[in-house]
Every structure is written in C-alpha cells, then in structure tokens.
Structure 1
Amino acid sequence: MARPSRFDTDQFLDAAVRLAAASGPAGVTMSAVAHEVGAPSGSVYHRFPGRTALLAQVWLRTVERFQEGYFAAIEVEADAWRAGRAAARHVIAWSRAHPEEAALLLYGAEDFGRADWSEEHIRRADRGGRRVRAALGSLAEGLGAEGARAGERVTLAVIDLPLSVVRRHLRAGLPLPAHAEDLAEECSAVLLGPPAGASCSGGEE
C-alpha cells in the first residue's frame, strides 16, 4: 500500500503565495517553495512540471478565489447601483482578509510568466477575464452607462479605485485602515452616479 504524501498541492501554492507577497514573482522558485514547505525539491516537481506551471497555478488559484467573491458581491444585489458599491467594498474586504494574496494580485499575469503558460492555463485565465468583462458590462447596462467613457467610469469605480487603496497601503507595508471599505464605497457611489429613481440633489434614501 502506497504511503500517503506528506505534502499536498495547496501547501506548495500557499508557500508560493507567501514568497510572492514577500519578494514578488521573482521570489517564487521551485527550490524556494520546497524550502518554505520543508519538502524535498522532488515533491514540488512531482506536482508542477516546472516553474512556469507553478507560477501559472499560483496566479490562477489566487485570482479565481478573488473573483468568486467579487462576482457573488455583484450578483447578490438586484440593483446595479448597490451591486457596484458592494463590488468596491469586496475588493477592500477580501484584501484585508487575505493580505498576502492581495499583495500577489498587485502584480499582473504577465509578471507570473503568462507568455510561457500552457494553452490550458491561458484558456483558464481568458475564461475568467471574459467573465469579468461580462459582469462589468451587465453592471454598466444596469446603470444606464452607455459608451466607452461611461464604461471606463464603471471600471474605475468598482475595480481601479478600490485597488488603488489596497496598493498604496500594502506596498507601503501598512495594514488597510478601518475606514477603507467605507471610503471605497463612498467614492464608488459618486462615480456611479445617483441610484435609479433618485434626484441629483436627493441622494439615496
């Protein structure tokens, strides 16, 4: 009977997240991950054929975990204006709960070697990207935001602006302040405009 493995894939990916948060993508090597886990290098190569596959897996697992909650935050609200505010809050709340993963996502897929990824990994990344674009498109439609400029404003409100709050603090090695979620939501609400049925002077009831 085969002996059960002492290490599983998630342990190696968790180690890769810690290394990326501390030293960037360059810090994620096969030997560094093995050392971080306390495993022989062969155990890492048993699960990942090489560093490119390891980088792809750690990036994709992290971004997909973030997106799962992000889509849920948007979809739980029937009203597009509230959904946009919830999405902005989620960026901050998820980053607060997962600071190492958030630090990793401050880089891009290209920093994790996307140009050399397998077709399977690229398809997986593209599938997530399409889902994000579809969600933003639906949100813009629900808000009545028509045209390229309006679409950019929605993206700024629910992605770029809250990420800038996360980036500024995490890159400085500082925790996110207690007011970060509220601030992101307030700024998002301004960019998204008044809720449906509200006057410009009346605000939300």
Structure 2
Amino acid sequence: MARPPRFDMDQMLDAAVRLTVASGPAGVTMSAVAKEVGAPSGSVYHRFSGRTALLAEVWLRTVERFQDGYFRTFEAQGDPVRAGCAAARHVVSWSRAHTDEASLLLYGADDFGRADWSEEHIRRADRGHQRVAGMLASVAAGLGADGSQGAERVALALIDLPLSLVRRHLRAGTRLPAYAEDLAEEGAARLLGLG
C-alpha cells in the first residue's frame, strides 16, 4: 500500500501565499516553496509542472475561495440589491479573516503570469470573471439600471468601494477597523439607492 504524501498541494499553496505576502509574486519559486514547507524540490515538481502552474494555482485557489463565499453571501439573499450590499460587506469580512490571501489578491492575475497559463487555468479564471459579471448584471437589473452608468455604479458599490477600504489597510499594515464591514455595506446601500 502506498504511503500518503508527506507534503500535499494545499501545504505548498499555503507556502506560496506566505511567500507572496513577504516578497510579492516574484518570491514564489519552486525552490522557495520547497524550502518554506521543508520538502525536497522534487515534491513541488511532482505537484506542479513548473513555476507557471504553481503561480496559476495559488492565484486561482485564492480567487476561487474568495468567490465561493462572495457568491454564497449574494445567493442567500432574495433581493438582488440587498444581496449586493451583503456581498460588499463580505469583501471586508473575508479579507479580515484571510489577511494573507487578501494581500495576495492586491496583485492581479497578470502579476502571477496569466499570459503563460495553460488553457485550463485560463478557463477557470474566465469562469470566475463571468460569474462576477452575471452577479453585477443581476444587481443592475434589480435596480432597473441599464447602460454603462448603471453598470459602473454597481461595480463601484460591490467591488471597488469595499476593495479600496481593504486595500488601504492591507498596504499600510494596519488592522481593519471594527466598523469596516458596516462602512462597506453603507456605501454600497447608498450607491444602490437604499441609503
């Protein structure tokens, strides 16, 4: 019977998150991940075909974990506009609970080598983007807001505003204030006409 692997993919991706926080995406190398988890380099190459695959996986795992909660929060509400406010709040609460992962998401997919990703990695990323676009369109429809101004208002409320609140504190290395979720939700409500 084969022995279970001593170092699994999640351990390696967790190490890649820590390396990103410490040194940015450039600090995420196969040898740095191996050293971080105390594994031989071969263990990392056994799980990832190369650095490009490693970078794609750490980015996508982080985005997908965030999006899972974001969409669950949105879908738990009946009204799309109130759901949008809850989703804006979720951006802050998730970032508070997952500071390292939120710090990683301050970078973009391009910083993690998207141009060189495999077709499957690109498909995964595109599915997430399409799901977000669908959610934003649902909120805009709930508002009766069509056109580019309505779309911009919804994106500002659900994405840009909560992210700017989180970004400022993460970059400064300060804790999010206890009322940050309330501010994100209040800002979204006002932008969506509920305030």
TM-score (norm 1): 0.93
Verify: 1:143 aligned to 2:143, yes or no.
Answer: yes
Residue 106 of structure 2 corresponds to which residue in structure 1?
Answer: 106
Deviations 1:42-101 (A, max 9, x none): 100000010000000000000000000111111111112211110110000000000000
One-letter identity of the residue aligned with 1:75: E
Identity %: 76
5+ long unaligned stretches in structure 1: 195-202
Instruction: Provide Cα deviations, 1:23-51, integer angstroms capped at 9, x if missing partner.
Output: 11111111111111010111000000100
Paired amino acid for 2:162 = P
Q: How does 1:128-167 map to 2 (within 5 A)?
A: 128-167=128-167
Q: CA RMSD in A?
A: 0.9
Q: Which runs of 4+ in 1 moved over 6 A?
A: none
Aligned residues: 195
Secondary structure, counterpart of 1:145 in structure 2: coil
Instruction: Name the counterpart of 1:186.
Output: 186
User: Within 5 A, what are the aligned runs for 1:42-57?
Assistant: 42-57=42-57
Q: Which runs of 5+ in 2 are unaligned?
A: none
One-letter code aligned to 2:23: S
**2:62 alignment counterpart:** 62
- 2:46, 2:7 → 1: CA distance? 11
Letter aligned with residue 128 of structure 1: G
Q: What amino acid maps onto 1:29 in structure 2?
A: T
In 1, the alpha carbon distance for the partners of 2:157 and 2:177 equals 19
Q: 1:89 & 1:113 partners in 2: Cα distance?
A: 30
1:127 aligns with 2:127: yes
Q: Which has the larger radius of gyration?
A: 1
Q: Distance in 2 between matches of 1:180 and 1:3?
A: 47
Query: How far does the alpha carbon of each residue in 1:111-148 deviate from its partner, in whole angstroms, 9 at most, with x for none?
Result: 00000000110111111111110111111101111110
Aligned to 1:198: none
